[in-house]
Amino acid sequence: MAGHNHGMTHSDPAFVKWNNMVVNRHKYFRWTPRTAWITFAYVVLVPSIVGTAGYMVDGKWDMRGKRRGDLISEF
């Protein structure tokens, strides 16, 4: 059956180094202007834009009970 000889293959050194970097990333993180801006963009800016767009189009289209040729816009 498959699955024998665990650990017998050689690991790629680049993959091992990358994996260690991913695991220990929190130890070496620093707040810089770039990381602060990226964090602000993904935590505040993007959700507010998506929320505003959703609020503006809320209720403008009705998809229930429409037949061919009916308009979906309510305004």
User: Each residue of 11-54: pLDDT tens digit?
Assistant: 889 999 999 999 999 999 999 999 999 999 999 999 999 999 99
Residue type, 57: V
The vertex-74 CA angle with 73 and 75, nearest 5°, equals 95
C-alpha–C-alpha distance, residues 21 and 11, integer Å: 16
3 pLDDT band, cuts 50/70/90, is: low
pTM comes to: 0.58
* Token representation of residue 17: 């180094």
Query: Tell me, what's the pLDDT at 58?
Result: 86
